[in-house]
Amino acid sequence: MADPQPDPEAVPLESSAASSATELRRIRRLLFFAVLLAAATAIYFARQVLLPIMIAIVLTLTLLPVVRLGARLRIPAGVTAIALMLALGLGLVAGGYFLSGPIQNVVADAPRMAEAVQDRVGGFLDRLRDLARRADEMASGATGGGNGASLPAGDEPAVAPDGSIVAGPPVAVVVEADNGTGAATGTAAGVATAVLASLASIGGTIFAALLLTGFLLAAGDFYHRRIVEAAPRLRDKKKALTIIRDVERQISRYLGSITLINIGLGIAVGTSMWFWGMPAPVLWGILACLLNFIPFVGFIVGVTLATAVSLITFDTIWQAALPPLFYLLINALEGNVITPMLVGRRLEINTVSMLLAVAFWMWIWGIPGAVLAVPFLVVVKAISDNVESLQVLSSFLSAEPAEREGETPQKATTGPALETAPFLAQAVARENSPPTQAPGDPKPPEVADHEPPARPASSVAAI
């Protein structure tokens, strides 16, 4: 019997179907990037509205365990929420009142401090400029010394052999004497106005965030239940509840641990500044505590400020180098030993992802965005860990490509999600899965050894 010949019209149809699928995937990618660009643009321009909402959501996820603890003690959620918001509000007001005096002194002394730093560093910069000028003169003398140009003694311009003017007549410059009072006053007034405007904007954002946080905490698990009820199937309801609990647990643990670590860091930095004789050591401690909430950027700003103030406080360069050096050492100890030891087991996000998130959100929302970048990343990581279609994103955000040794993989062990699960989960799943066999292939030895012996043909016929 002759083999059937392939239909010649089926090949163009298959190729057209493949090309259509490729074009469809390309269109989906373009639409995905267009949606991302539109979302980033909307987030950038809606900062005044979205920023208090995001702060309120992060505070709610952090403080919900406290509300549940009060519910176990028979305290209504509304009472606990009001108490927490009053405590936060009074703490912020007391901190602002306590820091208002040192901040006013720093703002008033900012022009003088800038001039002192410029005078102290100016000599070193002048030496560098002098060296650069001499190098340029030596280079120009070596390359253009024989062009025949000369400077005149009178007011007539010197003309080179090629016709270009080398020097012209002297120009009289009139300089008006000024005691500097007007410039300093104008600078101080401008700085004070900018600081007051920033404080007013920050105060309004914090008030709106605290108000919304109070309502969300008073609602308790109301919105959690609504999210779970919106899921159509029981499996989806369980997954939604798991994601909510995981996000809440990771956010509360991360922010609680980071807050305690930053308070300890502030105490250590303030004590160090007091020991070396820096002005306002309490302000330095509070500043170090607040700046450390901004990953990668906060300690750079703190070291820079400590260096500038130290240069105008001490006479010798060696004394001026000690306070910023100890500030740097304390931050290095916190970032490389304490924080990984206390938070590293809970926050499994690689450093590159954190750096990119901080850069992106700082570009979008400024300093508040840099503070919220890591909590946002924690939320994305918790969601991607529990959604099979986001396993690729989870593996990219993870601090290590494999799960810890001894853990039971909780990702999907069959189907397409297996190929995107972490590498150790894939290996364990393949090792524990039953061997597959195509029709007609010989059976594996371990299967053949445990298979019961076949019945004789005579007994089968008898049955």
DSSP of 181-199:
HHHHHHHHHHHHHHHHHHH
In a domain, 375, yes or no: yes
In a domain, 320, yes or no: yes
pLDDT of residue 268: 94
Number of domains forming the structure of the chain:
3
pLDDT of residue 187: 54
Residues 330 and 264 in one domain: yes
Q: What angle do CA 327, 302, 276 make, to 5 degrees?
A: 40
Picking from 347, 379, 412, the residue at the C-terminal end of a domain is 347
Residues 200 and 331 in one domain: no
Residues 211 and 79 in one domain: yes
Range of the domain at 316: 253-347
Q: Distance between CA atoms of 330 and 333, rounded to whole angstroms?
A: 5
In a domain, 163, yes or no: no
Residues 402 and 341 in one domain: no
Q: Tokens for 92, please give them.
A: 């912020």
Residues 102 and 66 in one domain: yes
- Among residues 232, 230, 242, which one has the least CA distance to residue 388? 242
pLDDT of residue 433: 46
Picking from 172, 205, 220, the residue at the C-terminal end of a domain is 220
pTM over 0.75: no
pLDDT of residue 3: 53
Q: Distance between CA atoms of 191 and 187, rounded to whole angstroms?
A: 6
In a domain, 239, yes or no: no
Average pLDDT of adjacent 10-residue blocks, the chain of 463 residues:
53 68 84 87 88 90 88 89 91 82 72 70 69 77 53 50 52 49 53 67 85 89 83 84 85 87 92 90 89 88 88 83 91 86 72 88 88 88 82 79 43 39 44 46 46 46 41
Most distant CA pair in the chain: distance in Å? Answer: 134
In a domain, 24, yes or no: no
Are the C-beta atoms of residues 251 and 383 closer than 8 Å to each other? Answer: no
pLDDT of residue 267: 94
Neighbours of 415 (CB within 10 A): 8
Residues 209 and 78 in one domain: yes
- Among residues 254, 260, 266, which one has the least CA distance to residue 330? 266
In 114-242 the beta strands, taken as DSSP E runs, fall at: 158-159, 165-167
Residues 93 and 198 in one domain: yes
Residues 62 and 209 in one domain: yes
pLDDT of residue 460: 39
Phi, psi of 454 (to 5 degrees): -75, 150
Three-state SS for 349? Answer: strand
- DSSP notation for 28-85: HHHHHHHHHHHHHHHHHHTHHHHHHHHHHHHHHHHHHHHHHHHHHTT--HHHHHHHHH
pLDDT of residue 321: 87
Residues 323 and 337 in one domain: yes
Residues 201 and 334 in one domain: no
Residues 274 and 391 in one domain: no
In a domain, 352, yes or no: yes
In a domain, 341, yes or no: yes
pLDDT of residue 235: 84
End-to-end C-alpha distance for the chain, whole angstroms: 39
